[in-house]
Amino acid sequence: MTNKLRDLVHPGRLASVMSAHNPLSARLAELAGFDGIWASGFELSAAYGVPDASLLSFSQHLDMTRAIVERVSTPVIADLDTGYGNAVNVMHVVRSYARAGVAAVVIEDKTFPKDTSLLAGGRQDLVRIEEFQGKIAAARDAGSGHDLLVVARTEALIADLGLDEALQRAQAYSEAGADMILVHSKQKTPEEIIAFARRWHGETRLVVVPTAYPDLTEDGIHELGNIGMVIYGNHAVRAAVTAMRQVFAEIRADGGIRNVDKRIVTVEEIFDLQRVAEMKATEQSYLR
Ligand code: SPV
Ligand code: MG
């Protein structure tokens, strides 16, 4: 089976990827025209109302991811956090995600249990470079029969270790076989990421998550020349919270749903997203 994502991240092209926390949000991202779906650990944690700190299990995230893959045809990129342990855990976990049909896995170089990256004062400890190289090599071997992209994510900038350390790690992970390097930054402006991209002369293309520095647009990212993918890391859950807050407040204020009813999607639109018509066609064919 060929991996559609490979064609979307080639030099000269920037793949635009949206987060999701369930098949419904993934389907909406697909309908909006995104190139890929980010099966986000942060979003799933938020959906469960718990911190993104390795509290949910690998199987909970895998269940969500499998459900997403089953309902969209857009490539799915799975957020594997730290890989749930050492290289042995990574191998086990990556095999499961590959069987679930994801196009790529992303594994980050933090210690397990992790703390979420953008939390001020968060616990950001990194594993040794050699240890993480072993995890990347294990992920590659586990995914080899599935044409899976392995994305190595360095949290060196998140951990305040500086550009040199981030570049050294990116180089080491690339040598270990990573197909792409995700470099995360918590700076409120894009200078740090721009400096990283300018100093990166490796062949391996980069991935960025501009949550903290929203002023960097796709045009600006594309101009840097060596970034193949932008992931909007948490915009599905933030959009959902924004919309629910507004609608719930309006219903409370109005003492009913009469006003709000005109502004929200109809029940029929939800039926469409559920593909009820497909089920009805199946009924026609098979129910006797
Ligand atoms: C996620 O969406 O789960 C991510 C991106 O890993 S971030 O939350 O910014 O670390
Ligand atoms: Mg995550």
Question: Is the Cβ–Cβ distance between 158 and 182 less than 8 Å?
Answer: no
Residue-wise pLDDT for 178-226, tens only, equals 999 999 999 999 999 999 999 999 999 999 999 999 999 999 999 999 9
Encoded tokens for 252: 């409370």
pLDDT band at 9 (very low <50, low <70, confident <90, very high): confident
Encoded tokens for 274: 């559920």
What residues sit around ligand 2, an ion, with C-beta below 5 angstroms?
41-42, 79
Cα dist. 50→37, 84, 122, 183 in Å?
Answer: 22, 17, 15, 25
Q: How far apart are CA 113 and CA 240, in angstroms?
A: 27
- Answer yes or no: is the C-beta of 54 below 6 A from any ligand 1 atom: no
- Answer yes or no: is the C-beta of 117 below 6 A from any ligand 1 atom: yes
Strand partners, 205: 180
Report CA(79)–ligand 2 centroid distance (Å).
6
Which of ligand 1's atoms lies nearest the C-alpha of 19?
2
| Ligand nearest to C-alpha 184 | 1
Q: How far apart are CA 266 and CA 117, in angstroms?
A: 37
Report CA(283)–ligand 2 centroid distance (Å).
40
The one-letter amino acid code at 143 reads G
Q: Would you state the torsion angle of the CA atoms of residues 128, 130, 114, 108, taken in this order, to the nearest 10 degrees? A: 130
Q: By C-alpha distance, which of 27, 174, 54 is closest to 125?
A: 54
User: Full-prediction pTM beyond 0.85?
Assistant: yes
Three-class DSSP category at 46: helix
pLDDT averaged over the chain? 97
| Ligand nearest to C-alpha 119 | 1
Strand partners, 265: none
Cα dist. 219→15, 173, 225, 230, 275 in Å?
Answer: 12, 27, 10, 11, 35
Which of ligand 1's atoms lies nearest the C-alpha of 108?
6
Report CA(178)–ligand 1 centroid distance (Å).
19
- Eight-class DSSP state of 115: -
> Which burial class, exposed, middle or buried, applies to 23 when counting CB atoms under 10 A from its CB (0-12, 13-18, 19+)?
buried
What is the model's pLDDT at position 89?
98
Strand partners, 154: 183
Residue-wise pLDDT for 54-89, tens only, equals 999 999 999 999 999 999 999 999 999 999 999 999
Encoded tokens for 42: 């942060």
- The arithmetic mean of pLDDT across residues 3-26, rounded, is 93
- Which of 48, 61, 117, 183 best tests ligand 1's pocket when mutated (most atoms within 8 Å of CB)? 117
Encoded tokens for 156: 């060196």
- Answer yes or no: is the C-beta of 42 below 6 A from any ligand 1 atom: yes
Q: How far apart are CA 75 and CA 36, in angstroms?
A: 5
- Eight-class DSSP state of 214: T
Report CA(97)–ligand 1 centroid distance (Å).
18
